[in-house]
């Protein structure tokens, strides 16, 4: 879902159709782009829980977005409090561009013990 949603041209139309029980008649328009998602996980994932830590996001570059998962809001601050904390999604005209945008966003997201794989989409790009 994290990598599909940014490729839908008008997600609001689909949400409205779902609330009106006419989803099967809705037309899904997909952008002619690619998307790559990189999970940022907590320090001890997948073995045990990590202590909560504040998440800072320096910048969300164009053609990228964040899908939050193991996150809570405390005193107006985003806190990493789960194993799979968030997904950095990049889009682009090619898989290589989408991958670059996803990893650029990963570099702009910080929390204590952040870890993520560095090989997402590499098999496709060989």
Which residue ranges make up each domain of the chain?
Answer: 32-125
CA dist 24 and 1 (Å) reads 18
Q: What is the pLDDT of residues 56-69, one digit of tens each?
A: 999 999 999 999 99
> 32-125 is classed in which CATH architecture?
Alpha-Beta Complex (3.90)
How many Cα atoms are found within 13 Å in the side-chain-facing hemisphere of 66?
23
Q: What is the mean pLDDT of each run of 10 residues along the chain (126 residues)?
A: 92 93 92 98 92 95 95 97 96 98 98 97 87
Q: What pTM, to 2 d.p., does this model score?
A: 0.90
Q: Which of 64, 79, 58 lies closest to 2, judged by CA? A: 64
Residue 118 pLDDT = 96
């Amino acid at each position: 879902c994290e990598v599909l949603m940014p490729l839908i041209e008008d997600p609001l139309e689909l949400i409205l159709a779902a609330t009106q029980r006419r989803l099967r008649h809705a037309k899904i328009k997909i952008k002619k782009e690619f998307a790559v998602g990189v999970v940022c996980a907590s320090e001890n994932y997948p073995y045990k829980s990590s202590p909560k830590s504040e998440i800072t996001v320096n910048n969300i570059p164009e053609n990228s977005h964040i899908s939050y998962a193991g996150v809570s809001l405390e005193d107006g601050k985003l806190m990493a409090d789960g194993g799979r904390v968030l997904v950095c999604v990049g889009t682009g005209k090619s898989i290589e561009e989408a991958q670059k945008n996803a990893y650029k966003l990963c570099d702009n997201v910080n929390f204590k013990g952040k870890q993520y794989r560095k090989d997402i989409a590499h098999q496709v790009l060989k």
